[in-house]
Structures are given as C-alpha cells and as structure tokens.
Amino acid sequence: MSKSTFIAFIGSGNVAWHIAPALDNTEFAVREVYSQNPRHADALVERLYEAEVKASLDLSTSLCRMFIIAVPDDAIQQVVREIVLPEDAILVHTSGSQPLEILKYAATTNIGVFYPLQTFTKESKVDLENTPLFVESANPETERLLMAMAKAISRKVFKITSPERKALHVAAVFASNFTNHMLLLAQEILKENSLSFDWLKPLIVTMIDKSLQIGPENAQTGPARRGDFETLDKHVEFLQDDEPTAELYKVISQDIVDRYQSDDGD
C-alpha cells in the first residue's frame, strides 16, 4: 500500500463518521484523524484499523498524501489557513455548497472536492454503495485519485463543477432538509392534539414512492392542487394560534395554487 493511498481526515463529525470507515475498508487506508474535539477523534479512530489521533493541524511530517476536510462549511477557511501539509499533498473538502476555490490559498496546488450527496447522522446507517459521489478538481492527477477513491465505495460517481454542485446542494436542501422540517411540523401538530405520528407514516412512504415513480409534478394532490380555497381557509384558521406555521402554510399553498392553475389553464 503506497503513501498515495493513505488518508488523513480533518474533522470527525457525521460525514467523517461514515466516509472514513468505508474508505478504510478499501485500498485507501485512513491513517490520521484531527478534530478540535479530541474525544470525537478518539471515537472515530476506534472505528478504523490503524489510524491515530493528531493533536494539531501541523501535518507536515504526515505519512498521508490525501487530506480530507470534513468540517462545517463555515470552518473550512480556518482549516485552510492553519493546516501545514507535507510536500505534494492533496487537499479536498466534502462540502456541497462551498466552491473548489475555497482551497486555493492552501500550500498545495493539488486541491479538489469529494462530495457525497447524502444525509448523515452518526446514529443511522447509510448505503454508501448507492450514494452519488461527486468529484471536482482542476488537477488531472488529483481528479484521477478522487475518482478512484469514490469508485472504491460507491457505484454512482460523477464529475461536477462548483456551480453545478451549488445548484445540486440547493435542490438537496429542498428535497431533504425542508421535507424533514415539514414532517417535524406535522408531528408537532399531531402531538398538540394528542394524536399519533405513526398514523401518517404509510401516507409519507406512499407519497415519496409515488413522487419518485411518476415525478413530483404528477404526484401532487391536496386542497391547493385542487384549488379548494374553502379547505385552505379552514386550515389557516385552525393554525391561527401558530402564526409562523400558518404563514408557511399559506405561502406553500399559494405556490402550489399558482403552479397548477397556470398548468390547468394551458
């Protein structure tokens, strides 16, 4: 196993928690982990074969060549300013929203992006084999290594540019984060009325499956889709004691009404 396949992780959060062990089961062995929270680094290292915790971002004597920054987006620049790399190091980040250029002030020209399009929490297993992985680099050798690394853990690997990745990330926020927030609001409404969230689960599963099968534009149902303003008004009245949720209901309903009234009128 050559030095070019040794990896160091900067960060030990949700992304590193899943990606590092997956890579460690391939030829791309993880040898070092740095985290601002040493306990988190220790916990991640326990999931790896031969990795060690590094106490600082001075990695100038590291045996690794690939350094993966897996920290919150707003912490990437700070890492770039502080990290000391060995000669000919490759530095990449895992962010969906940050451009490749955020790494341009690092002490290496070998920079790239290794972006898994997935939601990660330490408590939930992730099917990385079917998770799309997106690679970006202006350096041909770096791109080649990132593509090989991605293909070692996923069957769905794609090249992407920074503008394309930003659009993908925004879309992912709508599809995943916002959808989850809607489920939270639904759960809170039911809880306040002493009703079970479990009753919604078959509906949620059916809705997602149908949307994926026939497309969200064809799967939309409900009072806003039908232009049923009487029901919409009753729902807003029901939510009158929760102004933020009522306003959100009105905004989303109006957007649905506008889209489908236009389509139906064509």
**Residue 155 sits in the same domain as residue 170:** no
DSSP string, 117-142: -S---TTS---GGGS-EEEE-SSHHH
Q: Which of 123, 144, 160 is the last residue of a domain?
A: 160
Of 45, 155, 142, 161, give the one whose Cα is nearest residue 91. 142
Residue type, 73: D
Task: Please work out, in degrees rounded to the nearest 5, the angle formed at the alpha carbon of residue 86 by the alpha carbons of 66 and 73.
Answer: 50
Task: Please work out, in degrees rounded to the nearest 5, the angle formed at the alpha carbon of residue 66 by the alpha carbons of 61 and 69.
Answer: 100
Q: Which of 160, 189, 205 is the last residue of a domain?
A: 160
How far is 121 from 75, CA to CA, in rounded Å? 19
**Residue 127 sits in the same domain as residue 170:** no
**Residue 91 sits in the same domain as residue 145:** yes
| Predicted TM-score of the model (pTM) | 0.90
How far is 56 from 15, CA to CA, in rounded Å? 20
Long-range Cβ contacts of 187-190 (<8 Å, 24+ apart): 189/245
**Residue 152 sits in the same domain as residue 229:** no
**Residue 39 sits in the same domain as residue 119:** yes
pLDDT in tens for each of the 266 residues of the chain? 555 589 999 999 999 999 999 999 999 999 999 999 999 999 999 999 999 999 999 999 999 999 999 999 999 999 999 999 999 999 999 999 999 999 999 999 999 999 999 999 999 999 999 999 999 999 999 999 999 999 999 999 999 999 999 999 999 999 999 999 999 999 999 999 999 999 999 999 999 999 999 999 999 999 999 999 999 999 999 999 999 999 999 999 999 999 998 655 44
pLDDT at 5: 80
pLDDT at 266: 45
Q: Return the DSSP state at 64.
A: -
Domain that holds residue 248: 165-265
How far lies 148's CA from each of 155, 184, 250, in Å? 11, 39, 48
**Residue 88 sits in the same domain as residue 201:** no
**Residue 248 sits in the same domain as residue 119:** no
**Residue 132 sits in the same domain as residue 236:** no
Q: Which of 160, 189, 208 is the last residue of a domain?
A: 160
pLDDT at 3: 54
Q: Return the DSSP state at 108.
A: -
**Residue 253 sits in the same domain as residue 150:** no
**Residue 172 sits in the same domain as residue 151:** no
**Residue 152 sits in the same domain as residue 36:** yes
**Residue 72 sits in the same domain as residue 142:** yes
CATH number at residue 57: 3.40.50.720
Beta bridge partners of 8: 32, 67
Count of structural domains within the chain: 2
CATH number at residue 213: 1.10.1040.20
- What angle do the packed helices 38-45 and 14-24 form, to 10 degrees? 30
